[in-house]
Amino acid sequence: MRKPIIAGNWKMNKTPCEAKELVESLKPLVCDAQCDVVVCVPAVNFAAVAEAAQGSNIRLGAQNMHWKESGAYTGELSAAMLRASGVEYVILGHSERRQYFAETDETVNLKTLAAVAAGLTPIVCVGETRAQREAGYTDALVAYQTRIALTGLTGEQVEKIVIAYEPVWAIGTGLTATDEQANETIGVIRRAVADAFGETVAANIRIQYGGSMNPKNAHGLMMQPEIDGGLIGGASLKAADFAQVVHFER
């Protein structure tokens, strides 16, 4: 059985003070969670969130990192820096990073390898645009993105990472994939993992859905057999909403 994982993606929101406040409000609301609970926050909030979350079941995540260990990469952060700041998870290849910061499947692969080598758990994002879905490319595209991102990892490493299926057209738009659409495409991603790494690895890897997931639709999505969690943007910025998603089973 795969343990569900609900992760918040705060994106470019919250100052350290606001971050501390949000985590303090969240703690009592999610302390009895049956799933893994992660908040992926801006790097300036690592210290505040690590301190506020100490001793709780809330784990700290980042939203990006560089694949090199150190060097002349102005503005970038290494996996070791994240680790030393209490970070355990890192979102890689989010569609906003691909769209606005020119990330490619190849750089997502380099980052995934570096994150795993440093002991971080990557949350690797894949997903199609509306035009790609309408053209019928969704399955081929998500399978390709998945295969490239995981190239060079062992099966043992792959089964510990997290993949997030995020249809680009559903992110921040209020449009959610239907439960069945999300389940079906996550099934395609799981098959791509099986083809490359075998059935056991595919059965163990956790694959989240992301894209306008909220307290209202979380239950339906999470009841789908292929969906092991959620990557939550907008609804992760309010403690009550995020806690309701965490308690999707209610």
* Residues labelled as active-site residues: 94, 166
Selected from 4, 42, 61, 233, the binder of ligand PGA by CB under 6 A is 233
Residue 100's contacts (CB-CB under 8 Å, 6 or more residues apart) are none
Nearer residue to ligand PGA within complex by CB, 67 or 165: 165
Minimum separation from the CB atom of position 68 to ligand PGA (A): 25
The label of the residue with tokens 């399978």 reads 143
- 217 known ligand binder: no
Minimum separation from the CB atom of position 9 to ligand PGA (A): 4
Q: Is 171 in the site for ligand PGA (CB under 6 A)?
A: yes
Q: Is 215 in the site for ligand PGA (CB under 6 A)?
A: no
For residue 47, count CB atoms less than 10 angstroms from its CB and return exposed for 0-12, middle for 13-18, buried for 19 or more: middle
**x-or-dash string of contact with ligand PGA, 2-41, rule CB under 6 A:** -------x--------------------------------
Q: 129 to each of 100, 118, 134, how far by Cα in Å?
A: 14, 31, 9
- 174 known ligand binder: no
236: nearest Cα among 85, 61, 88: 61
188: nearest Cα among 104, 105, 229, 127: 127
Q: Is 213 in the site for ligand PGA (CB under 6 A)?
A: yes
Spatial distance between the Cα atoms of 158 and 162, rounded to a whole number of angstroms: 8
8: β partners:
39, 232
Supply the Cα-derived Rg of the chain in whole angstroms. 17
Minimum separation from the CB atom of position 123 to ligand PGA (A): 9
Nearest residue to ligand PGA, scored by beta-carbon proximity: 233
Q: Is 172 in the site for ligand PGA (CB under 6 A)?
A: yes
Minimum separation from the CB atom of position 213 to ligand PGA (A): 6
Q: Is 108 in the site for ligand PGA (CB under 6 A)?
A: no
Q: Is 231 in the site for ligand PGA (CB under 6 A)?
A: yes
3-state DSSP of 181-208: HHHHHHHHHHHHHHHHHCHHHHHHCEEE
Query: For binding to ligand PGA (CB under 6 A), which residues are involved?
Result: 9, 166, 171-172, 210-213, 231-235
Q: Which residues are annotated as a binding site for substrate?
A: 9-11, 172, 212, 233-234
